[in-house]
Structure 1
């Protein structure tokens, strides 16, 4: 066997193993029974659209020890803080303060959360607010050799997008085999759409989660759209900031494009922050992993 043939065989095997890993990656459970979605009131669009039976009394008052401030203890595992770091990354786009949870090198999956107006990197790692759902994504990443990032950024415009893009670029280089998913809460969605439109991040990210967020028709011509990057929408039916009807219309405009991989979960009677509290991180990310380019 020649050295050239052996080298080619090793390279091909490496690519095959990497491809198989990305195809079969499925996040292991973490408190799934506590974070399971409530009953579905209706479904449509061949399962892509779901209306869920959200109730504030059950999903906030019974779930939280102190409503909207501290979830009951059984919903969290604060031990994940052992692999949590508050870091500063110096880049050409500026210094980026961010919290990293899990593997900063060699991660199997990377998830970022981008906060909305008035938020900070601390919101995305608060173990006790939003029904413990940030603690869940932290534990999911830590238990699955993943990395979770919650950054600060200066604005919701081009400068903020440039810093988040630089953060993604840095950690993508540290974990070249990782799929990258960006979740954007409320106004953070402005950065989600800007990342999709950039040549660098639009060609690199593997999924977008819009949580109580806004729409952007320019996505339909973006590099991310052309790669068929899956998009998840979570929206409360009583969201007075971003009306659910407009987000539903945008979702259907995407869905109409050759059965584009997108899902919409409507939390009936839910408000602006409901999707951040209620999104099923594991179910959504596992679906995205099966669709990610």
Structure 2
């Protein structure tokens, strides 16, 4: 499944179930295409998509070939054992995606093929068919210790890494955004319903113009979307045509970005810069 190296230019990945996972409707888009509002409908996007709402998606949304390339692994670093779900071969990957879960999660969340509308299954398939690797570590704490563990995983590979942080996991993204050793190893960051941090606009990541993707629900009661949009605006103000995008799911809740983010579009944006 390996392929030629990725280049920092226009990129088109091989797709996987693109029609099923494409955004269901664009309500509005800014002139520069940086801010998009996507139509979300709980009845359509959960109850008609899942056999058991929020527990098991219809079989048409998943492809279980990824099971052959998936396993639970342990990475030793910083005197600790870091448990992670792994799909693909990190050592020889063209690129990698590391998913950081939020509070109460572990590696099983990011490896579950049937929850969140099958979107993790699609992400794993997309990564594998394009010669990449997917890592979903268990984060024990969202402080410097947790950040050090994720850094160890990033530094253990050779491929450019997309660091995707959901909910409270965004604390890890924020900490690593100011690490000068980590930034050159990253292709970009994705913040899914993430905790807002205005410090991101002053970070080493912003100074390096690291591509950023924000996805958020408009009815998120944990982290209001307006606060995250303010971070997005502040980052964009740091330089002309900063490579950042924001996708807002109209009427979406805190978990909506994990279910609805179009990973093909997201990875093409982050890896193609």
Mapped contact 1:70–1:129 kept (Cα < 8 A):
yes
Residue matched to 2:171: 190
Residue matched to 1:285: 267
Mapped contact 2:90–2:96 kept (Cα < 8 A):
no
- Superposition TM-score, scaled by structure 1 size: 0.88
DSSP-derived class of the 2:185 partner = coil
DSSP-derived class of the 2:251 partner = coil
Q: Tell me whether 1:201 sits opposite 2:182 in the alignment.
A: yes
DSSP-derived class of the 2:128 partner = helix
Q: Tell me whether 1:73 sits opposite 2:59 in the alignment.
A: yes
Answer 1 or 2: which has greater helix percent. Answer: 1
DSSP-derived class of the 1:225 partner = helix
How many residues are paired up?
269
Mapped contact 2:160–2:187 kept (Cα < 8 A):
yes
Q: Tell me whether 1:230 sits opposite 2:211 in the alignment.
A: yes
Residue by residue, what CA displacement relative to the aligned partner does 1:76-127 show, whole Å, maximum 9, x if unpaired? 0112111001011111252111111012221011001000000001100100
CA distance in 1, matches of 2:188, 2:169: 15
Mapped contact 2:142–2:169 kept (Cα < 8 A):
yes
Give 1:257 shift. Answer: 1.9
Structure 1 regions of 5+ residues with no counterpart? Answer: 1-16
Q: Tell me whether 1:41 sits opposite 2:27 in the alignment.
A: yes
Give 1:46 shift. Answer: 1.3
Q: Tell me whether 1:157 sits opposite 2:139 in the alignment.
A: no
Across the aligned residues of Structure 1 and Structure 2, the Cα RMSD in angstroms comes to 1.4
DSSP-derived class of the 1:46 partner = coil
Q: Tell me whether 1:242 sits opposite 2:223 in the alignment.
A: yes
DSSP-derived class of the 1:286 partner = helix
Structure 2 regions of 5+ residues with no counterpart? Answer: none
CA distance in 2, matches of 1:125, 1:269: 26
CA distance in 2, matches of 1:21, 1:27: 12
Query: Alpha carbons of 1:286 and 1:93: their partners in 2 closer, same or farther (altered >3 Å)?
Result: farther
DSSP-derived class of the 1:47 partner = coil
Give 1:200 shift. Answer: 1.4
Mapped contact 2:98–2:134 kept (Cα < 8 A):
yes
Residue matched to 1:147: 133
Mapped contact 1:109–1:180 kept (Cα < 8 A):
yes
- Superposition TM-score, scaled by structure 2 size: 0.95
CA distance in 2, matches of 1:110, 1:217: 27
Query: Alpha carbons of 1:152 and 1:218: their partners in 2 closer, same or farther (altered >3 Å)?
Result: same
DSSP-derived class of the 2:93 partner = coil
Query: Alpha carbons of 1:223 and 1:245: their partners in 2 closer, same or farther (altered >3 Å)?
Result: same
Q: For 1:114-129, what aligned pairs fall within 5 Å after superposition? A: 114-129=100-115
DSSP-derived class of the 1:242 partner = coil
DSSP-derived class of the 2:65 partner = helix
| Structure 1 runs (4+) greater than 4 angstroms displaced | none
Residue by residue, what CA displacement relative to the aligned partner does 1:39-74 show, whole Å, maximum 9, x if unpaired? 111111511001111000000011101100000000
DSSP-derived class of the 2:186 partner = coil
Q: Which has the larger radius of gyration?
A: 1
